[in-house]
Amino acid sequence: MTINIPDTDQARVVIIGAGFGGLMLARKLASSNFQVVLIDKNNFHQFQPLFYQVAMAGLEPSSIAFPLRKVFHHRKNIFVRVTALEAVDTEKREITTPLGTLAYDYLVLAYGVETNYYGNKNLEEKTIPMKSVAEALYLRNAILNDYELAITTADYDMRQGLIDIVIVGGGPTGVEVAGALAEMRKYILPKDYPELDCDEIDIYLIQSGDRLLKGMSETSATAAEQFLKELGVQVILNKRVDDFDGEFVLMSDGSRIQANKVIWAAGIKGKRISGLPEDVVVWGNRLKVDRHNRVEGQERVFALGDIAYMEEEAYPQGHPQVAQVAIQQAKNLAKNLRNELKGKAWQPFSYKDLGSMATIGRNRAVVDLPKRHFHGFFAWIIWLIVHLFALIGIKNRLFVFINWVWNYFTYDQSLRLIIRPRIKRHPEGYKVKEQ
């Protein structure tokens, strides 16, 4: 059975993944003479940098998630299909999905990466990842629920287990979650839970390396650590988390930390796709591509974003796995594909590092620009503006802005709702299942 996309004269570009890279590529091909099929397991694009705000109850999911069909209203050459890639047949130039097979002229793999638990089943089952809106919501519910339980828990140790949180991974995700949690503890919880002694709450951030934010400058890393400590986060460097049994985190040096909730932001890796030769796969399951994002040894298969591994002079070990790389690669690939139709030459990709940033709490951030570093309140303003404008859609920008302004002036995070999903078996086999 084939997915019912009409056959036309246009060459068909099939894009797997509507993250930063896939979405940008589709948008840049929207008015081209290609037929574009955009495939994602969700019917929306998720703005990853702000997941932690959904988790910390500062933002609604809909402020950072964009229905794909809305993005491509009126685009007659763009088709959206909500499904997943199962296998590729590079001979037949065909992909297989649960909805059926689909032939392609060009296949672009932009499905990103998922959480890496390093093969540890306990970590996979018992920790909370942060790579989707659904996971951010789950975390929100877990945190609030445990506070509700804690206020009626007389036993000291049990209570610590409910209120203490461990975050593993000192990259931007871990740093931002830790900062937001520390603020929640300082400004919100005393008002919501006057019966709880919020000084009892311990927040740990554990990093395996010798500093936080390995992808940023040392200046920024030091400033971030300082800000976190001022917020009362216990930053633990040079230690790995070996295991978690639901009650205690076991560290590489044998020490233990008691906490029921462990947020795992300590590693990413790609999914293995059936049908691609083994030798194009490198560490983290990334796919080797040339300077045109073409998968090594392939003619019509490309990869971009986190899942792609491209070497260039300035990046001999591949690009950092960040949004800007995906977005820039997508723009370059779109231009090249359009050039193909005009018989023009392809241009190699070269990454322009526009800078990186991470926020710590409500008015601090660290920002690395190509020539300068900022940290503190001014950096936070820059961060705010950049992310606000990066969001697609006027309405979403307005909502996020209003939410932020409100929170800022009232220290308020109104979205403190525990909405438990309703699990019901739907007829015709539609089941609510794990994502």
Residues between 188 and 217 that touch its own copies (CB under 8 A): 191-195
Query: Is 419 in a helix, a strand, or coil?
Result: coil
The answer to whether 65 contacts its own copies (rule: CB under 8 A) is yes
Question: Which span sits near its own copies by CB under 8 A: 31-39, 150-158, 202-210, 306-314?
Answer: 150-158
**Considering CB under 8 A, how many residues would be counted as binding its own copies?**
79
Q: Sign of the C-alpha dihedral, residues 134, 137, 139, 141?
A: negative
CB 122 within 8 Å of CB 220:
no
Question: Which span sits near its own copies by CB under 8 A: 111-119, 245-253, 346-354, 358-366?
Answer: 245-253
- The owner of tokens 């639901």 is 246
Phi, psi of 358 (to 5 degrees): -145, 145
> How near is the Cβ of 171 to its own copies at its closest, in Å?
21
CB 103 within 8 Å of CB 1:
no
> Which residue of 210, 230, 247, 312 would you call a contact of its own copies, by CB under 8 A?
247
The answer to whether 100 contacts its own copies (rule: CB under 8 A) is yes
b vs e for 241-258, b when ≥16 Cβ sit within 10 Å of the residue's Cβ? beebeeebbbbeeeeebe
Q: Sign of the C-alpha dihedral, residues 183, 185, 190, 192?
A: positive
The reply to whether 296 belongs to the active site is no
> How near is the Cβ of 283 to its own copies at its closest, in Å?
28
Residue 357, CA distances (Å) to 265, 299, 375, 379, 404 in order: 17, 37, 9, 8, 18
Q: How far apart are CA 64 and CA 393, in angstroms?
A: 10
The answer to whether 355 contacts its own copies (rule: CB under 8 A) is no
CB closer to its own copies out of 165 and 212? 165
The answer to whether 16 contacts its own copies (rule: CB under 8 A) is no
The answer to whether 183 contacts its own copies (rule: CB under 8 A) is no
Question: Which span sits near its own copies by CB under 8 A: 7-15, 64-72, 169-177, 346-354?
Answer: 64-72
Residue 298, CA distances (Å) to 90, 277, 293, 330, 334 in order: 8, 10, 11, 18, 18
Find the binding residues for its own copies in span 385-424 (CB under 8 A): 393, 395-396, 398-399, 402, 406, 412, 414-424
CB closer to its own copies out of 238 and 410? 410
> Which residue of 23, 47, 85, 146 would you call a contact of its own copies, by CB under 8 A?
146
Find the binding residues for its own copies in span 67-86 (CB under 8 A): 67, 69-70, 73-74, 76, 79, 81-82
CB closer to its own copies out of 4 and 347? 4
Q: How far apart are CA 336 and CA 344, in angstroms?
A: 8
Burial class (CB in 10 A: 0-12, 13-18, 19+), 42: middle
CB closer to its own copies out of 68 and 323? 68
Question: Which span sits near its own copies by CB under 8 A: 42-50, 275-283, 347-355, 368-376?
Answer: 42-50
Per DSSP bridges, beta strands 308-309 and 286-288 are parallel
The answer to whether 425 contacts its own copies (rule: CB under 8 A) is yes
Which residue numbers are catalytic? 176
